[in-house]
Amino acid sequence: MAVLIKSRKEIDKLREAGRLVAETFEVLRPHVKPGTTTAELDKIAEDYIRSHNAIPIYKGYGAHPGGHGRPAIPPFPGTICASVNEVICHGIPSDKQVLQDGDIIGVDIGVILNGWVGDSCMTYAVGNIDEESQRLMDVTRKCMDLGIEQARHGNRLGDIGAAIQTYAESNGFSVVRDLVGHGVGRSLHEDPNVPHFGRAGTGMRLQKGMVFTIEPMINVGTYETNTLADRWTIVTADRKRSAQYEHSLAVTDGEPELLTVL
Residue 48 falls inside a structural domain: yes
Q: Is residue 108 part of a domain?
A: yes
- Segment 126-147 mean pLDDT: 98
- pLDDT above 90 coverage of the chain, percent: 93
Q: Is 64 annotated as a binding residue?
A: no
Any binding-site annotation on 68? no
Residue pLDDT, tens place only, 68-78: 877 889 999 99
Residue 149 inside a domain? The answer is yes
Residue 245 domain flag: yes
Would you place residue 229 in the very low, low, confident or very high pLDDT band (cuts 50, 70, 90)?
very high
As a whole number of angstroms, the distance between CA 108 and CA 21 comes to 9
Q: Is residue 156 part of a domain?
A: yes
Would you call 126 exposed, middle or buried from its count of C-beta atoms within 10 A (0-12, 13-18, 19+)?
buried
Say yes or no to pLDDT of 23 above 80. Answer: yes
Q: Which domain holds residue 209?
A: 8-61+73-258
Per-residue pLDDT, averaged over 84-95, amounts to 98
- Count of structural domains within the chain: 1
Q: What is the pLDDT of residue 69?
A: 76
- Residue 190 is assigned to a ligand binding site: no
Average pLDDT value for the chain: 97
The residue with greater pLDDT, 3 or 214, is 214
Which band of pLDDT confidence, cut at 50, 70 and 90, is reported for residue 34?
A: very high
Sheet strands side by side (includes 211-214):
190-194, 181-183, 211-214, 247-250, 257-258
Q: What is the CATH number of the domain that holds 222?
A: 3.90.230.10
- 108 annotated as a binding-site residue: yes
237 Rama class: left (phi>0) / alpha (psi -120 to 50) / beta = alpha
Q: Is residue 161 part of a domain?
A: yes
- Kindly indicate the confidence band of residue 197, based on its pLDDT and cuts at 50, 70 and 90: very high
Q: Would you place residue 135 in the very low, low, confident or very high pLDDT band (cuts 50, 70, 90)? A: very high
Question: Is 31 flagged in the annotation as binding?
Answer: no
In a domain, 2, yes or no: no
On whether residue 127 sits in a domain, the answer given is: yes
Q: Are 207 and 178 in contact (CB under 8 A)?
A: no
Buried b (16+ CB within 10 A) or exposed e, 47-82: ebbeeeebbbbbbeeeeeeeeeeeeeeeebebbbbb
d(CA 95, CA 41): 10
119 is in an annotated binding site: yes
- The reply, when asked if residue 257 is annotated as ligand binding, is no
Q: Where residue 129 falls among pLDDT bands split at 50, 70, 90?
A: very high
In tens, the pLDDT along 137-184 reads: 999 999 999 999 999 999 999 999 999 999 999 999 999 999 999 999
pLDDT of residue 1: 67
